[in-house]
Amino acid sequence: MTTRFTKDHEWVRLEGDVATVGISTYAAEQLGDVVYAELPAVGASFAQGADMAVVESAKTASDVYAPVSGEIVDANAEIKGENWQIINDAPQDRGWFVKLKIANKAEFDALMDEAAYADYVKGL
């Protein structure tokens, strides 16, 4: 399983043609305690870079962008069930937002790998 990252701090993990998407540990740390998250409906389609979800903390609200184009096939039931704390506790594991059927694997391949993302975050 390969994980890639965007400059907007989303991560995407590809298994076959299904991509699991969430926000990075860095993003979760910058947000602080998450108090709300709005996820898209299953069946919705997004182009790469489109606003896909919203996450709010005591500090701010942030859009979550689609790191790759595709159609939503699953949304994290724990987050939809208002267990927003898992976004802080395990942002790159149980705190995933959605799974989508990827439309263009080249978009995934063009994203930063873990080493490149770590270097990117160091420069912020």
Q: Per residue in 45-93, pLDDT tens?
A: 999 999 999 999 988 999 999 999 999 999 999 999 999 999 999 999 9
The contacts of residue 33 (CB under 8 Å, 6+ apart) are 57, 58, 85, 88
Residue 59: the pLDDT is 87
Specify if 22 maps to a domain: yes
Q: Does the pLDDT at position 10 exceed 90?
A: yes
Residue 1: the pLDDT is 79
Q: Does the pLDDT at position 98 exceed 90?
A: yes
Residues 16/36, Cβ–Cβ less than 8 Å: no
Domains identified in the chain, total number: 1
Over range 96-104, report the average pLDDT. 97
> Which CATH number belongs to the domain containing residue 60 in this structure?
2.40.50.100
Kindly report the pTM of this predicted structure: 0.95
C-alpha distances (whole Å) from 32 to each of 13, 27, 94, 116 are 23, 9, 17, 24
Specify if 78 maps to a domain: yes
